[in-house]
Structure 1
Amino acid sequence: MNDKQQIPHPQHLAFPQAMPADDEIDLRELFGALWKGKWIIIATTFIFAVGGVLFALSQPNTYKAEVVLAPAGESSGGGGLAAMAGQLGGLASLAGINIGGGGTDSKAMSLATLQSRQFINAFITKHDLLVPLLASTEWNEGSGELVIDPELYNTETKQWIREVEPGKSVIPTDWEAHKAFKEVFSTADSKDSGLVTLSVTHYSPIVAQQWVEWLVADLNLWMKDKSLTETKRNIGYLEQQLQKTDISDMRSVFYQLIEDQTKNLMLAEVEAEFAFKTIDPAVIPEEKAGPKRALICVLATLLGGMLGVAVVLVRFAFRKEDTELETRN
């Protein structure tokens, strides 16, 4: 038979047909569109660059004060309170009490306390930090005083006058104060050296340095008072147990535990840097920490350039689509 069924060439089965020429991207045409829209790109870049410069200049300077601390238990090399706490730990566990100890656990407890809402709110209340924390806008270098936003706080009547939503307090709450303080306060714990860096960033370098000093002093006092309270409670408990037993061996254990707790109590009362010892004290910073004005200007310029290119390419795509539709019709 002459009529034979034609078999498609293998090459046609293996490879798809080429895309139509209309769907291909012509780089020369693309660059031509960018060149035609160069004034749009230049104008957009210029507007964003100017806006970035104005925004960067409008931002007030901020200053960061830092202090380097070492855990008191670790810095003593296992002596002092840490050694006292470990001498009779086994006997204390038999008696049902926990003497405690220094080292990593006490460091972690101190850092957790430093970050806690209870400590931060007590710190803000003690030193009356609500106004410089929430109402200050910048620092007057000439007078050395903070500039307070008159729409938030009246410095003459010493009253908050900010506008709030119905049902909310005009005076900032502990929640707001804690949230604002966490934004200016930070800690860094070095795993290698064990040192802790505590820093505060504020408009005023004097305020930043002062707050760092207060934080260290208040934290040491807080942890000291907590330890003294626990030690006194342990002594009271041991004295009660001592009165309840007539066994000479147990009485000897209780006497030793009471003696140990009394020594801890005496050492804690005379120790000023109870939780952390200052290695490098905070000083008033002379150089600003922010804002990064050059970086803000560069990012704004790049954003403006990318936006300008995007606008030109979108216009080019729509015009090309309209042209193709007109050609087909």
Structure 2
Amino acid sequence: MEHIETGLGTKQAPSDEVDLKALFIYLWNKKFIIAFITMLFAVTSVVVALNLPNIYQAEALLAPAEDEQNGGLASLAGQFGGLANLAGISVGGSGNKEVKLALEVLKSRQFSSQFIQKHDVLKELMATESWDLTTNTLLFDPTIYNQTTGEWVREVTLPFKPKPSMQEAHEKYLEKVVIEEDQETGMIKLAVLHHSPYVAKQWVDWLIDDINLVMKARDVAEANKSAEFLTQQISKTDVFDIKSVLYKLLEEQAKTIMFANVREEYIFKTVDPAVVPEKKAKPRRGLICIVGTALGMFVSIFFVSLGYLFRN
């Protein structure tokens, strides 16, 4: 303790240090308050954990499909790459790029909008509240969607409407669809989180089918467009060597179209298909209770300690 010399004698200056022993004794004396607040947080966390609906995750393991139709084009890339690019044809080493493109398409607004509208799953995406295990039925939030009348009843302000827009749906879609790519093996995990394990499994199957169809349609459309260009160029030139090259490129486009039409798993092959999950993925109720109780103890000790500091 620091001493200060004054005209009236020696006086002790107040100390900024906290007496830890006195603080511990003070906390011990307030143990019932600490225990009450901790118990309040613990009970609240238990109630919250028990009222959270189960979320199930269905997942499938995918492998990039072999880019067999690109082999012929790759062999022409060295000599005729410039001419092929002029025709809008991608040559050589495009397999990995196609997979990357397909993954980005899966996350896109356009794909999610087409998926939601095609399968009519907007209410399952935006308004689901829980799932009844005994009857295998979805329960919808009555403040968002009226299941009896089939009307959207949520209260929102402009520019939003009671029925969610595709932009809102896209944000929710990204929360429920999980895409993970293993950089070492190239394998891709496609998963869906939902209140219903059956809905989660069905959506995974639909997503795989739809992305294969979309990528197939894109490649076929590009091949048809390139074939039209090549056909026009063939009719315009009389040089035999150029015609020969153009015929080879045209042949490769015909192979691309034929290959796309005969293979269902066009861009992704299913290594391990999705199944209806038996166990929930979340919430982790035990962890919620532990964290809630620990938080209650910390908060109670913190505020009781503040009371001690202000008092002294």
Please confirm whether the aligned pair reaches a TM-score higher than 0.5, indicating the same fold: yes
Would the alpha carbon gap of residues 105 and 167 (structure 1) be closer, same or farther in structure 2, given more than 3 Å must change?
A: closer
- CA deviation after TM superposition for structure 1 residue 252, in Å: 1.1
TM-score, scaled relative to structure 1: 0.87
Structure 2 residue identity aligned to 1:117: R
Q: Which runs of 4+ in 1 moved over 4 A?
A: none
Q: Does 1:282 align with 2:271?
A: no
The alpha carbon displacement at 1:269 in A equals: 0.9
Deviations 1:182-240 (A, max 9, x none): 11111101011110001001000000000000000000000000000000001000001
In the alignment, what sits opposite 1:141? 133
Q: Decide whether the 8 Å contact of 2:73 with 2:249 is kept in 1.
A: no
Q: 2:230 aligns with which of 238, 248, 269?
A: 238
Deviations 1:240-269 (A, max 9, x none): 111111111111111111111111111111
Between 29-38 and 87-96, the greater mean CA deviation after superposition: 87-96
> Does structure 1 residue 93 correspond to structure 2 residue 82?
yes
- Name the counterpart of 2:7: none
Q: Shift of residue 20 of structure 1?
A: 5.2
With normalisation by structure 2, the TM-score equals 0.92
Whether contact under 8 Å (1:92, 1:98) holds in the other structure is no
From 108, 123, 127, give the equivalent of 2:115: 123
Any idea what the Cα deviations from partners look like across 1:149-208, whole Å, max 9, x if unmatched?
Answer: 222212232221111114421110011100111111111010111100010010000000
Letter aligned with residue 56 of structure 2: Y
Structure whose alpha-carbon radius of gyration is higher: 1
Single out whichever of 246-255 and 216-225 deviates more from structure 2: 246-255
Name the counterpart of 1:15: none
Amino acid in structure 2 at the alignment position of 1:148: F
- CA offsets per residue over residues 126-163 of structure 1, 9 Å max, x none? 11111011111000001101001222212232221111
Distance 2:98 2:159 in 1: 42
**What is the one-letter code of the residue matched to 2:125?**
L
Match of 1:5 in 2: none
What residue ranges of structure 2 are gaps of 5+ in the alignment? 1-11
Pick one of 39, 43, 63 that aligns with 1:70. 63
Distance in 2 (CA, whole Å) between partners of 1:156 and 1:305 is 46
SS at match of 1:88: helix
Q: Once structures 1 and 2 are overlaid, which stretch shifts more, 50-59 or 25-34? A: 25-34
Q: How do residues 1-329 of structure 1 correspond to structure 2 at under 5 angstroms?
A: 22-73=15-66, 80-89=68-77, 90-95=79-84, 96-100=86-90, 102-320=94-312
Contact 1:85 1:264 in 2 (8 A): no
Q: State how far apart, in whole Å, the 1-side matches of 2:88 and 2:209 are.
A: 26
Could you tell me how far apart the structure 2 residues matched to 1:82 and 1:69 are? 20
What's the secondary structure of 2:163's corresponding residue?
Answer: coil
Q: Which residues of structure 1 form unaligned runs of 5+?
A: 1-18, 321-329
Go from structure 1 to structure 2 and tell me whether the alpha carbon gap of 1:145 and 1:84 turns closer, same or farther (over 3 Å shift).
Answer: farther
Change in Cα spacing, 1:164 to 1:135, as seen in structure 2 (3 Å) is: same
CA distance in 2, matches of 1:166, 1:191: 44
Contact 2:27 2:304 in 1 (8 A): yes
Partners of 2:41 and 2:19 lie apart in 1 by 30
What do you get for the CA RMSD once the two structures are aligned?
Answer: 1.5
SS at match of 1:170: coil
Q: How many residues align?
A: 297
Contact 2:192–2:204, Cα closer than 8 Å, also in 1 = yes
Q: Deviations over 1:43-91 (max 9, x none)?
A: 1100000000000000000100000001113xxxx6x223133122342
Identity %: 41
